Copies of this chain bind each other. A is one copy, B any other.
Amino acid sequence: MTVVAVVLAGGTGTRLYPASSPETPKQFRAVGPGEGSLLSRAVSRAGRFADEVVVLTREAYADRVPEHAPGAAVLVEPEPKDTGPALTYAAFELRERYDDPVLVCLPSDAHVGDDAAFADDVGRAIDLACERGGLVTLGVEPTYAATGYGYLKPGAAVGSAGSGADGGYEVERFVEKPDAGAAARYREHGCLWNAGTFVWTPDAFLSAARESALAPLVAALGAGDPEPFDAIGAVSVDRGLLEEAENVFVVPTGVEWDDLGTWDALERVRPADGDGNVVDGDALALDAEGCVLATDADSHVSVVGVSDLVVAVHDGRVLVVPKHEAERVREAFAELEERGML
């Protein structure tokens, strides 16, 4: 068996503008705690459990990968169409490339508090995936009622020979990103965050994909279609496959985890000062409260007399948004793109 980590590095991360830009999305940036870029941290994390590391990305970013992941192979998705097509393509392409591969698919741009504990939990997921021939997700135990993540509800416990009784659970169902009330209920009822980390063999995945919305893509790939992605629209692997599939399991993990999707995430992964300000970089907060201040190495931010603001600076580009509206950075990015100002 060959454990192959598939690090998904094709995203644009627009909500983390200006750290994310069209040329340099957030996975190539040093966001949050840790050394090096998010991608280099993800590859290093994968090195703890994987025999081989493959970075799956889009054409435009492929040349940047070796600088962040010198030892990794690079697999270029034919077209960016979200995780469903990308992971189908990866399963198809990698199934013959390695000896008896099991794929551990994980994001390139998440924060993980403890790489060793994460590797242990991935190890349990690998055991389960291999023994059951199923599709295994890692489910993060929520530390707050997040509205930014999808949840999954564990069902019956399933043991595995490798990990014993706490090998994992059947997944009863997946649920989309909830509102605040639903998030609190999900958390109370033991639901887990869907952290976008999946373990399966190519055969198990492709077999399930043939019964899913991804079937046309599997067929096109099998037929040697020169433009296989024309067969399919953009869809996440959760919605395109996992939500309806049989044989889906979850292995819970208690590691500190964050998708670093929006700037307010820094509050959860960085310590705050006595006034609740979180600084990632170089900043002065004077009579300011609850702010998130992020700079690159060449910048400095001063805030005076403000509350609950995000101020982020990269490459001479500045973003200011109320912390609780950090999702709206996406709108600014879209508007700047529309105006040709990126």
Contact = CB atoms under 8 A, between A and B. Distances in A.
Interface of A: 17-18, 282, 284, 286-287, 295, 298-306, 309, 311, 313, 316-322, 325, 328-329, 331-332, 335-336, 339, 341
Nearest to A321: B304
A161 B302 CA distance: 54
Contact of A331 (B299, B304, B316, B319): B304
A315 B313 CA distance: 12
A320 B316 contact: no
A336 B286 CA distance: 10
Contacts of A341: 282, 284, 300
A16 B211 CA distance: 64
Given A316-B313, A318-B313, A321-B306, A332 B286 contact: yes
Number of this chain's copies in the complex? 2
Q: Ordered nearest first, which 9 A-B pairs have the shortest CB separation?
A: A304-B321, A299-B316, A301-B318, A302-B332, A303-B320, A305-B325, A298-B316, A304-B328, A300-B317
A316 B319 contact: no
A286 B320 contact: no
Contacts of A329: 304
B328 A305 contact: yes
Contacts of A319: 301-304
A268 to B, nearest CB: 21
A318 to B, nearest CB: 5
A303 B306 CA distance: 14
Nearest to A333: B302
A331 B303 CA distance: 11
A341 B302 CA distance: 11
Contact of A304 (B301, B304, B332): B332
Given A284-B341, A341-B284, A303 B317 contact: no
